[in-house]
Structure 1
Amino acid sequence: MPIFMDRHDVSESVSAEVLAEIHLEDLKIEHEYGCRGFTYWFDQKRKNVFCLIEAPNKEAITRMHKHAHGDVPNTIIEVEPTIVESFLGRISDPEKTKNTELNLINDSAYRILMVIHINTQLNKTNELKAISKNLNRKIKKLLENSHGNIVKKDNTTYLVSFKSVINAINSALQIESDIIPNHLTSSGNLKIGIASGEPVTNKPEIFQETITLTNRMCSFVNANISVSYEVKSLYESVQIHSISKSSQIRVLTPSEEKFLNQLTDEIETSWQNPEFNIDRFSENLGYSKSQLYRKLTNLTGKSPNSFIRDYRLNQALKLINDQQGNISEIAFETGFNSLAYFSKCFKNKYGILPSKHAQ
């Protein structure tokens, strides 16, 4: 039977005691709807609740809540319990506090998420593989010592969940300044994006909104470490010194975050169209060409034409690595009108002809 997580936005008057009583009311009648409640998270500061429930469908959860106490959820999404545990640290009620009748849960589901991208996808030499293995071992140990839960990882990407914004920022700085210079060759580079959010929003997957932003920061922002404005505010609410004073970190403004999402949505939609160029780019985003140039170069360090070309080349590299067609097919599939021009651009960026890399 599927597992769901729902979201309730509650009033200022709701307390941990009230929610513990409501949880008990759910448990009393859940069997009538084929449901089984695992646990919930309550954020006193942000006034929201997230319940983890096994149920035949979303409608059964809504009916159960309505019968038990009348507080129906704002949103419900289907989740994998192992992923929930990786993000939030548990999938059952915490141990009951001693000398209390109710099991009071005042445990926020708000998390700081870090994405780490290590770009070594072009060079596949045995030497680099050995370096990458050692690098990953060091990063994993550091994250564990910093109380970061590794949600997903492969040889080039980490998705990590933190409760503490200080631990997240300090981990990023230590990886960038101490580990990378000693373990990563000049053929690779590292990007870290840090953002924060809640598990259930209006998106269909857990933490999808926050994960999307962190991935986009890693992919496009011209900085080794970039953090969202909300993470900056959280950090400076518990630390005396400003995060902005660190030369290693770039803090995005709210307007930059909005622009980042706009340009990424647009490039993801239009990159395969060979007629997509700076004119179409600026028109679709609602900026003049000079405005787009200024905003894009400030955020990414690239001109609009370079941004479009590099995005297409990155997609082409992935297709070649995955053996998804011959070089000619891949060139035209990724928006290039000429095989010769594609090969020239590919070699300029990666130092090797696409046909040679495919071999």
Structure 2
Amino acid sequence: MAPLRIQPMPTYMDIHEIPGGITADEVAKAHAHDAAVEGKYGVHYHKYWVNERAGKIFCLCEAPNAEAAMQVHREAHGQTAEKIIQVEPDVADLFLGGSEVNSAGAVLLPGGAADARDPGIRTVLFTDIVESTLLTQTLGDDAAMELLQIHDSVVRDALKALNGREVKHTGDGIMASFVSAAAAVRCAAQIQRGLAQRAGEQSNHPVRVRIGGAAGEPVEHGNDIFGSTVQLAARLCSHAEPEQIVVSSVVADLCIGKGLMFRPLGEVSLKGFDRPVHAHSVEWSA
């Protein structure tokens, strides 16, 4: 008789919005109250991300179902979540990172000051090789694969240098996540410079990419983790010209005072978005 396979419980992430903001101590106390009652419902709240000024908390837990997770909050402190979504643990880790957690359960900001809380905001970048299908048709599979390997090498070197996390390979590009918006923009510029340098070494068929970036929170309008942010970054990437980096206004705002240069593009219309989006082009030079 085959041994029974125990299925892991689903993983959920929720968002709480507290008007007027919230303190780290208040969130820590609420999390402790969750821990005191979660066993009754077969739930385990692992950790949370908190943006004190914005009054937003994102909790990650394992639970039999979403209602059980909500019931823990309801009984523990009455602060029920505005929204809860089911997430794949490995996908959440790719976006948010293998986070260090303090004794209260708060995720700490990587590279930040001691005990600085991570607000959960991430910047997502997409790269896209220009005319990748045409390159394959023109050069053949082997030569096109060599160009893809050049792209992958340059992008991954830049991610390593700027603390980016590769989320997935899209076939003709890479999606990556960053804690720092400024690091994401610097990474994008390094990718363009690296490919420009490689183009000088093999001028016959240079690898050219367009890059798009957007920043946001893990639980937004859709039902996927960072769903709206991913969609916007992908659309901005598609909107970009070859060798151009286009980012959302949120990314540009997060980079104020970081010594980075942007050129406003005004409002751009993007597929899947009801309203035009303010976009900026990143100024970079080889």
TM-score over 0.5 for the pair: yes
The answer on 1:217 being equivalent to 2:236 is: yes
Alignment CA distance shift 1:75-1:145 (3 Å): same
Comparing 12-21 and 125-134, the one that deviates more: 125-134
The answer on 1:199 being equivalent to 2:213 is: no
The answer on 1:149 being equivalent to 2:165 is: yes
The answer on 1:230 being equivalent to 2:242 is: no
Cα distance, 1:240 vs structure 2: 4.7
The corresponding residue for 2:152 is: 136
Q: Deviations over 1:222-256 (max 9, x none)?
A: 462101111111112x3256423xxxxxx443x32
2 CA distance for matches of 1:9 and 1:159? 28
The corresponding residue for 2:101 is: 94
3-state SS, counterpart of residue 193 of structure 1:
strand
3-state SS, counterpart of residue 140 of structure 1:
helix
Q: Deviations over 1:289-325 (max 9, x none)?
A: xxxxxx9xxx9xxxxxxxxxxxxxxxxxxxxxxxxxx
The corresponding residue for 2:134 is: 122
Alignment CA distance shift 1:208-1:171 (3 Å): same
Cα distance, 1:201 vs structure 2: 0.9
Q: Which has the larger radius of gyration?
A: 1
The corresponding residue for 1:65 is: 73
The corresponding residue for 2:191 is: 175
1:303-342 aligned at under 5 Å gives the runs none
Cα distance, 1:154 vs structure 2: 4.2
CA RMSD of aligned residues (A): 2.5
Q: In percent, how many aligned pairs have the same letter?
A: 28
Alignment CA distance shift 1:45-1:3 (3 Å): same
Cα distance, 1:220 vs structure 2: 2.6
1 CA distance for matches of 2:121 and 2:224? 15
Q: Which runs of 4+ in 1 moved over 3 A?
A: 102-105, 183-189
Alignment CA distance shift 1:31-1:171 (3 Å): same
1:53 pairs with one of 58, 61, 64? 61
Q: Which has the higher helix share?
A: 1
Alignment CA distance shift 1:128-1:180 (3 Å): farther
Alignment CA distance shift 1:19-1:164 (3 Å): same
Q: Is this contact kept in 2: 1:148–1:168, CA < 8 A?
A: yes
Alignment CA distance shift 1:13-1:199 (3 Å): closer
Cα distance, 1:103 vs structure 2: 5.5
2 CA distance for matches of 1:208 and 1:104? 23
1 CA distance for matches of 2:135 and 2:194? 23
The answer on 1:107 being equivalent to 2:127 is: no
How many residue pairs match? The answer is: 251
The answer on 1:265 being equivalent to 2:281 is: no
Alignment CA distance shift 1:216-1:13 (3 Å): closer
In structure 1, stretches of 5+ residues that fail to align are 97-101, 245-250, 267-284, 287-294, 300-359
In structure 2, stretches of 5+ residues that fail to align are 1-8, 108-116, 280-286
Q: Which has the higher strand share?
A: 2
Q: Deviations over 1:60-109 (max 9, x none)?
A: 11111010000000011110111111111136x6143xxxxx56552110
2 CA distance for matches of 1:161 and 1:137? 17
Cα distance, 1:155 vs structure 2: 4.1
1 CA distance for matches of 2:121 and 2:210? 23
Letter paired with 1:265: G
The corresponding residue for 1:280 is: none
